[in-house]
């Protein structure tokens, strides 16, 4: 899809630019800059990977000491596993942008994605920054969405308009990710912005609430990145009465919009999974707790045997049954467990359903979207996880990633 074909809405109070810095890729943009209106508020969530990348560590420090004015994002180099030198490089890139933009280095948040363990080519980034600042404009969302891609096949860009205190507000977001996807707290890289006026507390609560049912409910390969980060910016350009309370209709309207955008971006990431050919929804019902339901859903979603059967369109239902059984749910009564492929009942009363046929299972498995529904028969809690199949191309893409 050409950039001109990506539908979006500009967000008043925010300008963007994308440029080619030659960080790893040649002949494409790989550096994005976001300029935030003075007075903008910024909420964020980051990976819980113990080997968090240098830009993650530095962005946390900067958020704690200043209100961000710029976001600096590079693709092709993760600046993770780079020790003290990586922190120095991340800091140098922030200082370079701050010097050109006339702000403090702490007002710049750095983000990186790409190969782990390689030094960040700061000189290439700083050389590209003047051109980026010259190109800042409100409509560069599609270019930014492409610039932050690594193994992604398509850019991810979503916009919503919603009513807020009698005004028409805008929310636009981009995300990247196709592999090393199993978010823990945050997401691959996602940047959302609204023109609404929102206080820091409600803004952070809004982002946290949206992540739970979107980016934190997907998996491609079970790997949590060192660089995961998600950001929600509120520029305040709309001029609405500030949202300062965690309750009320205004926050509810914003929350609904943010959740909708995050869910659409998360689904786009799974659809674009490295080598993926199928989108799979694993829903677990009738669990005692939501945590229990999520545990079963992720066990099925992470199973290489289940994922390869999905790729082969093979209704090998025994792999799903085995994954449910090893999820570590105490005292599960297998006689009460029921498993469906879409609407086809495949398992009940401890084994294969009497009415199940291989033909019915095969008819579901050839579809591009496959629902797997598991009822544990022990409560009312529910959870859903999005995943994809595991194909030959996933192995090829990752085997060749650094070549």
Q: State pLDDT tens for residues 111-147.
A: 999 999 999 999 999 999 999 999 999 999 999 999 9
Fold of 3-271: 3.60.70
* Residues 388 and 270: beta-carbon distance below 8 Å: yes
Residue 359 predicted with pLDDT over 80: yes
**pTM of the full predicted structure?**
0.94
Residue 403 predicted with pLDDT over 90: no
Task: Report helix, strand and coil shares of the chain as percent, to nearest 5.
Answer: 35, 25, 40
The 10s digit of each residue's pLDDT in 166-194 is 999 999 999 999 998 888 766 689 999 99
* Residues 132 and 17: beta-carbon distance below 8 Å: yes
Reduced to 3 states (helix: H, G, I; strand: E, B; else coil), residue 302 is helix
The 10s digit of each residue's pLDDT in 141-162 is 999 999 999 999 999 999 999 9
Average pLDDT over residues 106-114: 97
Token pair of 365 as six digits:
């498995």
| Fold equal for 3-271 and 279-399 | no
Average pLDDT over residues 340-355: 97
Reduced to 3 states (helix: H, G, I; strand: E, B; else coil), residue 226 is coil
Residues 6+ apart with CB under 8 A from 189: 73, 111, 113, 148, 175, 176, 177, 227, 228, 229, 230
Average pLDDT over residues 244-269: 92
Average pLDDT over residues 369-382: 98
Nearest to 281 by CA among 368, 194, 179, 376: 368
Token pair of 226 as six digits:
């060192």
Q: Please tell me the CATH superfamily of domain 279-399, with its number.
A: ArgJ beta chain, C-terminal domain (3.10.20.340)
Percent of the chain with pLDDT over 70: 98
| Predicted pLDDT of residue 1 | 47
Reduced to 3 states (helix: H, G, I; strand: E, B; else coil), residue 359 is helix
| Predicted pLDDT of residue 145 | 98
- Map out the domains of the chain as residue ranges: 3-271, 279-399
The 10s digit of each residue's pLDDT in 2-53 is 555 678 999 999 999 999 999 999 999 999 999 999 999 999 999 999 999 9
Token pair of 261 as six digits:
């955008």
**In angstroms, how far is CA 173 from the centroid of its own chain?**
11
Average pLDDT over residues 232-259: 92
Catalytic residues: 187
Residue 363 predicted with pLDDT over 90: yes
| Predicted pLDDT of residue 187 | 66
Average predicted confidence (pLDDT) for the chain: 95
| Predicted pLDDT of residue 390 | 96
| Predicted pLDDT of residue 256 | 96
Report the DSSP beta bridge partners of residue 320. none
CA angle 233, 192, 110 (to 5 degrees): 70
**In angstroms, how far is CA 292 from the centroid of its own chain?**
23
Residues 6+ apart with CB under 8 A from 56: 46, 47, 226, 227, 228, 229
* Residues 40 and 236: beta-carbon distance below 8 Å: yes
| Predicted pLDDT of residue 401 | 85
């Amino acid at each position: 899809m050409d950039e001109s074909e990506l539908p979006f809405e500009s967000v008043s109070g925010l300008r963007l630019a994308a440029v080619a810095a030659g960080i790893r890729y040649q002949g494409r943009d790989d550096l994005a800059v976001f300029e935030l209106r003075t007075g903008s508020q910024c909420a964020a969530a980051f990976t819980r990977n113990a080997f968090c990348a240098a830009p993650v560590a530095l962005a946390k420090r900067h958020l704690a000491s200043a209100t961000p004015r710029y976001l600096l994002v590079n693709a092709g180099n993760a600046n993770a596993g780079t020790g003290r030198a990586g922190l120095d490089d991340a800091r140098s890139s922030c200082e370079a942008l701050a010097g050109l933009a006339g702000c403090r280095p702490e007002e710049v948040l750095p983000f990186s994605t790409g190969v782990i363990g390689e030094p960040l080519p700061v000189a290439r980034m700083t050389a590209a920054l003047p051109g980026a600042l010259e190109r800042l404009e409100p409509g560069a969302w599609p270019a930014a969405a492409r610039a932050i891609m690594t193994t992604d096949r398509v850019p991810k860009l979503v916009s919503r308009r919603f009513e807020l205190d009698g005004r028409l507000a805008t929310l636009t977001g981009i995300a990247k990710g196709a592999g090393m996807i199993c978010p823990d707290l945050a997401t691959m890289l996602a940047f959302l912005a609204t023109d609404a006026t929102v206080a820091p507390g409600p803004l952070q609560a809004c982002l946290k609430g949206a992540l739970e049912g979107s980016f934190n409910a997907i998996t491609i390969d079970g790997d949590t990145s060192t660089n995961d980060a998600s950001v929600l910016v509120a520029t305040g350009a709309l001029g609405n009465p500030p949202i300062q309370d965690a309750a009320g209709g205004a926050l509810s309207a914003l929350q609904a919009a943010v959740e909708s955008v995050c869910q659409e971006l998360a689904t786009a990431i799974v659809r674009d999974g490295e080598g993926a050919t199928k989108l799979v929804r694993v829903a677990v019902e009738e669990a005692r707790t939501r945590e229990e339901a999520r545990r079963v859903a992720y066990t099925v979603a992470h199973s290489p045997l289940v994922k390869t059967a999905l790729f082969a369109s093979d209704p090998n239902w025994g792999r799903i049954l085995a994954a449910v059984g090893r999820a570590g749910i105490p005292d599960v009564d297998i006689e009460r467990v029921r498993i469906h492929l879409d609407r086809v009942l495949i398992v009940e009363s401890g084994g294969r359903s009497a009415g199940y046929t291989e033909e019915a299972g095969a008819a579901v498995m050839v579809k591009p979207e496959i629902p797997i529904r598991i009822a544990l028969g022990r409560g009312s809690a529910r959870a859903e996880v999005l995943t994809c199949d595991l194909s030959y191309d996933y192995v090829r893409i990752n085997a060749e990633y650094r070549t």
